[in-house]
Amino acid sequence: MKPILEVNGLSKRFKAHQALKGISFAVYPGEILCFLGPNGAGKSTTIHILSTALQADAGEIRFRGTPVAQETNGLKRSIGIVPQDLAIYEEISAEQNVRFFASLYGLKGKELQERTEEALAFVGLSDRKDDKPKTFSGGMKRRLNIACAIAHQPEVIIMDEPTVGIDPQSRNHILDSIRQLREQGATILYTTHYMEEVEEISTRIIIIDHGEIIASGTKEELKDRLAGEKLYEIVVDRTEGLNPDELYGISGVKQVRAVDNLLRIMTVSGIDNLDQIIVHLMQSGIKIQHLTSSAASLESVFLQITGRKLRD
Ligand SMILES: Nc1ncnc2c1ncn2[C@@H]1O[C@H](COP(=O)(O)OP(=O)(O)OP(=O)(O)O)[C@@H](O)[C@H]1O
Ligand SMILES: [Mg+2]
């Protein structure tokens, strides 16, 4: 599959501070690509450059293969940006806000009105459309910020930490909306420093720190590759008659613990040995009642590659 957006060697320096150190990545159609990184990692700088609000010192961005420097208009219409700092007008109604932004993207007349109403309904603000954002909660403002960016139905939606500091209900609403936008065919680039959100919505992850990409992959790949260990938790009818030595004989098995009817087997990830473990249990006359396989958490992955916790 061809990428919808390609970023090559993007660099940005603010005085003495090198905020981006030549990052490269691609965004593929239909994915929810999560850009995960702590404060100051360079997430917003990347997005400001993608939105053309900021100029890079070096690097190239291609949209559907064409350098964006050559087709800014097409790009504007195709991308919707939800900025980290709210970009809404407090003194005009929610509806007027959405109409204003959608009209900047060239919508007018009946289409403008329909898309505005759709966007407001989508973020759950139809009943507050005539109210001014200054009367809204933080979560409602965030949702309006999103409506303003998606009313023109862009192919790519870029969101910069849209759930920071809001109530759980608005947060869930936003995460659901993102999944829905993807189902409707949009491609999403989503920045966050919340692991739980990445766990919940990402189809792929890029971890960025100090202006560099330090890891990327699906959450399963990241956990598998970086943690190097996997845990099988197997509930069995009994553990008597089990010979741990034979389990240790299976390739990849590092540790076997039995507590009551729960068997915990730590194994090297990347080695397919579950079949052999199951066969061994069956041959010992032990019945499996439940089995789960879990990789290390994203938090531990981050800790391992950076030596720090994400929220330090
Ligand atoms: N306009 C600016 N002038 C000077 N330094 C800047 C500017 N914008 C960003 N920086 C610096 O560049 C680095 C990256 O900032 P950026 O805003 O991209 O981080 P971020 O990953 O979005 O962080 P956060 O999670 O806090 O939003 C930081 O060290 C920041 O202080
Ligand atoms: Mg930021």
Query: Tell me, what's the pLDDT at 221?
Result: 85
Ligand nearest to C-alpha 192: 1
In a domain, residue 309? The reply is no
Provide the CATH number for the domain around residue 96: 3.40.50.300
Nearest CA to ligand 1 atom 6: 14
Query: Tell me, what's the pLDDT at 312?
Result: 46
**Ligand 1 near 164 CB (within 6 A):** no
Q: Are residues 180 and 290 in the same domain?
A: no
In a domain, residue 305? The reply is no
Nearest CA to ligand 1 atom 4: 14
Task: For residue 54, give the DSSP letter.
Answer: S
**Ligand 1 near 248 CB (within 6 A):** no
**Ligand 1 near 14 CB (within 6 A):** yes
Compute the distance between CA of residue 102 and CA of residue 30 in angstroms, rounded to an integer.
Answer: 23
Q: Which residues of 187-196 are buried (b: 16+ CB within 10 A; e: fewer)?
A: bbbbbbbbbe
Are the CB atoms for 118 and 180 separated by under 8 Å? Answer: no
The minimum-distance atom of ligand 1 relative to the CA of 12 is: 12
Range of the structural domain that residue 106 is part of = 5-223
**Ligand 1 near 193 CB (within 6 A):** yes
Q: Are residues 106 and 16 in the same domain?
A: yes
Closest by alpha carbon to 156, among 76, 89, 87, 216?
76
Query: Tell me, what's the pLDDT at 248?
Result: 92
Ligand 2 centroid to Cα of residue 1, in Å, is 29
Ligand 1 centroid to Cα of residue 208, in Å, is 13
In a domain, residue 308? The reply is no
Q: Are residues 218 and 233 in the same domain?
A: no
* Domain boundary pick from 223, 242, 273: 223
* Domain boundary pick from 204, 223, 242: 223
- Residue 200 tokens, joined: 């919940």
The minimum-distance atom of ligand 1 relative to the CA of 42 is: 18
Q: Are residues 262 and 212 in the same domain?
A: no
Q: Are residues 207 and 238 in the same domain?
A: no
Ligand 2 centroid to Cα of residue 162, in Å, is 10
In a domain, residue 282? The reply is yes
What is the total count of domains within the chain?
2
The residue ranges of the chain whose pLDDT is under 50 are: 312
Query: Tell me, what's the pLDDT at 28?
Result: 97
